[in-house]
Structure 1
């Protein structure tokens, strides 16, 4: 959802840091080649493999000749484990993010924030986009850590939640032509989105769209990019459009500009 803004701001020379809370150990795997890496009944090696995918994705969003940002993992790679979905045995794992103490998670994120002093932070919305418990936990921890850091250090200046604008989603779905075998269009309301009036920032990433698509394709164990390169799907094979505009809702208490922002650094440059 944020591959475009990462690519755009790297191209502008912005110092970008991507912090990931788990390795995604409990995820599903698309296809047969790496299917036995899964945690449930497999080798439980998926998390390590996905470090490579994330590294490749960050290289894909980086302009030619520049050094890509390295993946950063909260507390170090493997400190907290993917919880899986709510109610599953993986959520009871002693290292699951779901089981971690709020204080430990907030302290670890505070360390990242205080060392980096970011002007802008982007995180999940309250729903964790589609309700994944770990995504929701990231939101909760981010809210707490960002508030503490801003109060004590003055950073970050601006905070955004990454979301999908409903009209953009609808237009993207309407433009989809022939789908790959086995794919389907979503049912009305099946994909999460926000009404247009809720959106506070719309960032054009069309100039770096190829980088965004390449980054999606790098996450091959969990994403399929259609041959058109204008749609992608997760393991459920529900088609989603690749948007040349990314949308956000600003949540900090700082001064606002009139209208919808076109730049996450608006007012800071």
Structure 2
């Protein structure tokens, strides 16, 4: 048995980015630990969703515990930083925000967990935080440094395969027309080109689990969100493979299992 520590910025990130590898690892007998940097304090929530006097962060902690149970996590920890919000917003510089944290201090907090768990594998994010969110960028910086401090042998940077997105858009355009394949996103700002990705884990067996974990984050992922309204085939195509970069591997995709050889 090995131990996976999956490090994320906010509640719900774990389900979207690494839900498949977390549940796969758990089902295969490995220990799974979820660490979240913030409690998602500045997320958006519909009026009337929260109970009277309830704070969003309180609900998001409960949602994270529910999602973690679905994903087979054995332990959940929060590092205690405050959600920094999107890049360029005033909350970036708020006292206690993750974006303003000293990397060395935050890394030592995570390293303490890595040491305690004797972690074999750590997941964080790529150097642009998958899409440029300040807290996601910090997950990369803090995660990479924490692994150095703790001597964690394997670090996988969770990323988005932008070429896979483009292929999916092209297939959708061929089937349903250009308008259907023109989401309001800048593909070049997401993830990395496939040539930089070194690991692709097939988690199609767990896409229903991933979707259930996403649904647990109801304050942020409503039933009307594209995550939950996508048809099964489209969801499987979009979320059935989880992509990673591991320094020193490649060129090209050379790994399909984060635990191979352990």
Shorter-normalised TM-score: what interval?
Answer: 0.7 to 0.9
What does 1:1-269 correspond to in 2, within 5 Å? 1-29=17-45, 31-34=46-49, 45-62=55-72, 68-74=73-79, 79-150=80-151, 156-174=152-170, 185-187=183-185, 189=187, 192-223=190-221, 224=225, 225-226=228-229, 228-229=231-232, 242-251=238-247, 253=248, 260-268=254-262
C-alpha separation in 2, matches of 1:47 and 1:111: 24
Structure 1's 127 and 256: CA in aligned 2 closer, same or farther, altered over 3 A? closer
Give the structure with the higher percent strand: 2
Q: Is the 8 A contact 1:55 1:70 kept in 2?
A: no
C-alpha separation in 2, matches of 1:166 and 1:197: 10
Moved over 4 A (4+): 174-178, 229-232, 255-259
TM-score (norm 1): 0.76
Q: Is the 8 A contact 2:108 2:149 kept in 1?
A: no
C-alpha separation in 1, matches of 2:189 and 2:145: 28
Q: Is the 8 A contact 2:200 2:253 kept in 1?
A: no
C-alpha separation in 2, matches of 1:209 and 1:26: 28
TM-score (norm 2): 0.78
Structure 1 unaligned blocks of 5 or more: 63-67, 151-155, 233-239
What is aligned with 1:235? none
Could you report, residue by residue, the CA deviation over 1:82-138 in whole angstroms, capped at 9, with x for unpaired residues?
111334332232222223233321221111111111111110111111111111112
Structure 1's 166 and 47: CA in aligned 2 closer, same or farther, altered over 3 A? same
Give the structure with the higher percent helix: 2
Structure 1's 27 and 192: CA in aligned 2 closer, same or farther, altered over 3 A? same
C-alpha separation in 1, matches of 2:76 and 2:18: 15
What is aligned with 1:236? none
C-alpha separation in 1, matches of 2:186 and 2:94: 36
**RMSD of the alignment, in Å?**
2.9
Structure 1's 88 and 43: CA in aligned 2 closer, same or farther, altered over 3 A? farther
